[in-house]
Chains A and B, each alone.
Chain A
Amino acid sequence: MAYVLLRHRDIPDIDRIDVYKKNGGFEAFEKAVAAMQPGEVTEVVKASGLRGRGGAGFPTGMKWAFMDKNNWPHYVVANADESEPGTFKDREIMERNPFQFLEGVAIASYAVGANAAYVYLRGEFWQVARFLDEKIAEMEKAGFLGDKLFGTEYSLRIYTHLGAGAYICGEETALLESMEGKRGQPRVRPPFPPSYGLYGKPTVVNNVETLANVPFIVANGADAYRKYGTEKSPGVKVFSLSGNVNKPGNYELPLGATFRELIFEHGGGIPDGRKIKAIMPAGASSSLIIANDKALDTPMDYESVPDVGAQLGSASVIVVDDSVDMDWLINKTIEFFKHESCGKCTPCREGTYWMAHLTERIHSGEATMQDVDLLNDVARQIQGKTLCALGEFSTMAVVTAIERFPEDFEKRLASGDKHG
C-alpha cells in the first residue's frame, strides 16, 4: 500500500519542491482555488469523514463550517506543538514531507477564506521551524503563496511562530493566547475559536497530521479516502510507537488496525523475551489498558478503543512490559503533569502537586493503603472540574493503574500495612 501521509518513505527527496510537484504536488490546491468554491472544499472534507488527529477526533470539515461568516478576517493556525509524551508523528511529517503539510494549510485557508495562516511549533522544534521557513519561501517563489494565486483574486501567506516549551499550548485556546504574546493558559469556552479565535477573529486550529490529509482528499475525493479505515473512523493514521518495543517509530496504518498488528507485526514485539503488560494508546494522558488478548485484538479507531477502557487520542502508543511497576509509571506521568499544569485552575494546579506527593511516597515504599485511596480520591476530585483537558489527562493513568493493577501497589506498601 502506498503511503498517504509518510510519502517520503515511497518518494525520496519529496521535501524538494520540484520532486513534490512532479508527484502531483499543489494540484489539489490549484484545483481548489481555481475550480472550486470555498464551501465545496469544506463539503469534500466533511464527506471524507476526516477527524482531528491531535487527539480530540473532532470532524474537521464541521469545524471549518463553523467559521463565523459575519466577522473577518479569518485565520488558520496549524497546531505543531506536539508535546504529548509518546507523540512524534507531526515532527516526521514536517521534517520529511513538508510541502504536503503546507499544501494542507493552504487548502484549509482557502476553504475558510483566510489570507494569513500561522504554524505554531513547539519551541524545541527550532530546526523544523527554520526548515519550514525555507519551504515557505520556496512556495512563494514558485507562485503557490502570495497574491493573486492561480490567476484568481485569492492571496495567502503562511508564517511560522515558535512557542517556548509549554505542553499546555497544544490546547487550542492556550495556543492562541500564546500566539497573542501572553502566557499560554486556556480560555473559557464557549466561545470556540471558529467564532472567537486569534485576535478575537474566527480561527480554525488544526493539527499538522490532520492538515497533511487534506491534499489527498481534495485531489482524490472523499470516496477514495474512505477506502481506508472504518465507517466511523475513515482514513489512515500515523501511530507513534514507543516504550518497551523492539522497533519504536512511526507507522502509518488504516484506522482500525489492531494493537497486535502495530506492536508485534510492525513493532517487532517486546525486547528480551519479556511479556507485554499494559498499553497506553494516547501517550501519558492515556488510561492504562491491560494488554490481554482482547485488548491486543482491539481495532485502533475512535469507537473501539473505549471498549477496552481508554481513548485513541493522538494514537501515541506506549508499550509497557512486565518489568515495569505501575507505581513507578504513574510517578513519572504525574511528575510530567505537575510540571506542565499552567496554574489557572485550582483542582489541576493543586491536585497534580498533591498527586505527585502521594505517588512519590508510594513509590518509595513509605505509604499505607490509605495513601493509595487518598491518591485515587484526589484524582477523581480533579475530573470534570478544570477548563481544559490537562487536569483530566493527569488522572487517567493514576485511576486506571490503581483499578487495573492493584497488586503493584499492594506490594509497595509499607510492611505490615497490607490491608490499610
Chain B
Amino acid sequence: MSLAEKYPQEVKEIFAKYPPEQKRSAVMPLLYLAQREEGYVTKEAMQDIADLIEIGVTEVAAIIGFYTLYHDEKAGKYRMQVCTDLPCALRGADEFLANLCDNLGIQVGETTPDGLVTLEEVKCLAGCDKAPMFQLQSGEGIEYHENMTVDKTLELIEALHKGDKEVS
C-alpha cells in the first residue's frame, strides 16, 4: 500500500498547509509520516513521496541524507540520542554517556540485543540547563528526558521494555 493509501487524511492535512503550487514544501512532514511505522524511510516510501510531490527519488534521498532526524536504515525501536555538546559536557554528559554504554554493554551507534534501544550521540538539543539529557526518537515522535542519571535511564529502558511507556 502506498503512503497516500495508508494515510489519506494525514497526507491531505499536510498538503493543506502550503500553497497548492508549492507541493515540495510537504516533503519534510511526509518523511516523518513515512517513518511512523518502521522508524526509517523505506525505498518504497521514498518513491511514494517523490511521486506525490513530483520530484526525483534521488532528491528525496538527498533530503534524508541532509537532515539528522531522517533515517534510511532500520535501528532499534527507540533511538536514544544523548547530547554531548559543550554546555552538556561541562555538566558531565560525556561521563554519563560512557557509563550508560558500560551499563548497557553496547557502544555508541549500537543497538541493545533485544532491538529496543539504539544509542546515539547527537548535537545540541536546547536542553543545556538540564544536562545530562537525551531525546528518544521513534516512529511515533520525539520525547525529551532531562536531568538524567544512568539509574533513571536504566529504569526508563526497563519501562520501555515492558511497553508501559509510550513516546508521544
Task: Give the complex CA separation of A127 and B130 in angstroms.
Answer: 17
| Chain A residues within an 8 Å CB radius of B28 | 161-164, 178, 181
Instruction: Tell me if B22 is interfacial: C-beta within 8 Å of chain A.
Output: yes
- Overall SS of chain B's interface: mixed
Task: Give the complex CA separation of A319 and B91 in angstroms.
Answer: 11
Instruction: Tell me if A294 is interfacial: C-beta within 8 Å of chain B.
Output: no
The segment from A79-87, A224-232, A408-416 that touches chain B is A79-87
Contact A284 B85 (CB under 8 A): yes
Q: Which of B27, B68, B128 contacts A165 (CB 8 A)?
A: B68
Contact A324 B90 (CB under 8 A): yes
Instruction: Tell me if A244 is interfacial: C-beta within 8 Å of chain B.
Output: yes
Contact A183 B66 (CB under 8 A): yes
Task: Give the complex CA separation of A320 and B89 in angstroms.
Answer: 11
Q: Which of A127, A162, A242 contacts B129 (CB 8 A)?
A: A242
Instruction: Tell me if A187 is interfacial: C-beta within 8 Å of chain B.
Output: no
Q: Of A164, A248, A319, which is in contact with the most chain B CB atoms at under 10 Å from its CB?
A: A164
Instruction: Tell me if B51 is interfacial: C-beta within 8 Å of chain A.
Output: no
| Chain A residues within an 8 Å CB radius of B90 | 242-244, 318-320, 324
Task: Give the complex CA separation of A241 and B63 in angstroms.
Answer: 34
- Chain A minimum-CB-distance residue to B142: A126
Contact B142 A243 (CB under 8 A): no
Task: Kindly provide the distance from the CB of A165 to the nearest chain B CB, expressed in whole angstroms.
Answer: 3
| Chain B residues within an 8 Å CB radius of A260 | none
Task: Kindly provide the distance from the CB of A409 to the nearest chain B CB, expressed in whole angstroms.
Answer: 18
Contact B63 A182 (CB under 8 A): yes
Task: Kindly provide the distance from the CB of A186 to the nearest chain B CB, expressed in whole angstroms.
Answer: 13
Task: Kindly provide the distance from the CB of A332 to the nearest chain B CB, expressed in whole angstroms.
Answer: 5
Contact flags (1/0) for B63-95 with A, using CB distance below 8 Å?
Answer: 100111110000000000000011101110000
The segment from A6-14, A333-341, A386-394 that touches chain B is A333-341
Q: How many residues of B contact A (CB 8 A)?
A: 43
Instruction: Tell me if B25 is interfacial: C-beta within 8 Å of chain A.
Output: yes
| Chain B residues within an 8 Å CB radius of A85 | 85-87, 123-124, 128
- Chain B minimum-CB-distance residue to A243: B90
| Chain A residues within an 8 Å CB radius of B8 | none
| Chain A residues within an 8 Å CB radius of B22 | 180-181, 199
| Chain B residues within an 8 Å CB radius of A244 | 90
Task: Give the complex CA separation of A333 and B86 in angstroms.
Answer: 7
Task: Kindly provide the distance from the CB of B81 to the nearest chain A CB, expressed in whole angstroms.
Answer: 9
Contact A240 B128 (CB under 8 A): yes
Task: Kindly provide the distance from the CB of A388 to the nearest chain B CB, expressed in whole angstroms.
Answer: 15
Instruction: Tell me if B163 is interfacial: C-beta within 8 Å of chain A.
Output: no
Contact A318 B86 (CB under 8 A): yes
Contact B62 A183 (CB under 8 A): yes
Instruction: Tell me if B101 is interfacial: C-beta within 8 Å of chain A.
Output: no
Contact A86 B66 (CB under 8 A): no
Instruction: Tell me if B31 is interfacial: C-beta within 8 Å of chain A.
Output: yes
Contact A126 B29 (CB under 8 A): no
Contact flags (1/0) for B131-168 with A, using CB distance below 8 Å?
Answer: 10001000001111000000000000000000000001
Contact B69 A336 (CB under 8 A): no
Q: Of A86, A181, A316, which is in contact with the most chain B CB atoms at under 10 Å from its CB?
A: A181
Contact B168 A83 (CB under 8 A): no
Task: Give the complex CA separation of A142 and B27 in angstroms.
Answer: 31
- A–B pairs, 26, beta carbons within 8 Å: A85-B85, A85-B87, A86-B128, A91-B126, A122-B126, A123-B69, A126-B141, A127-B168, A162-B32, A163-B67, A164-B32, A166-B68, A181-B24, A181-B25, A181-B53, A181-B55, A181-B63, A242-B131, A243-B128, A248-B129, A248-B130, A249-B129, A329-B86, A336-B123, A339-B123, A342-B66
13 additional contacts, CB 8 Å, given A161-B28, A248-B130, A342-B66?
A: A86-B124, A88-B128, A123-B67, A123-B142, A127-B144, A166-B68, A178-B28, A180-B25, A181-B23, A199-B19, A249-B129, A332-B86, A340-B123
The 7 closest A-B pairs by CB, nearest first: A165-B68, A181-B24, A164-B67, A248-B129, A126-B142, A242-B128, A181-B27
Interface residues of A (CB under 8 A from B): 82-88, 90-91, 122-127, 130, 159, 161-167, 178-184, 199, 240-244, 248-250, 284, 316, 318-320, 324, 329, 332-333, 336, 339-340, 342
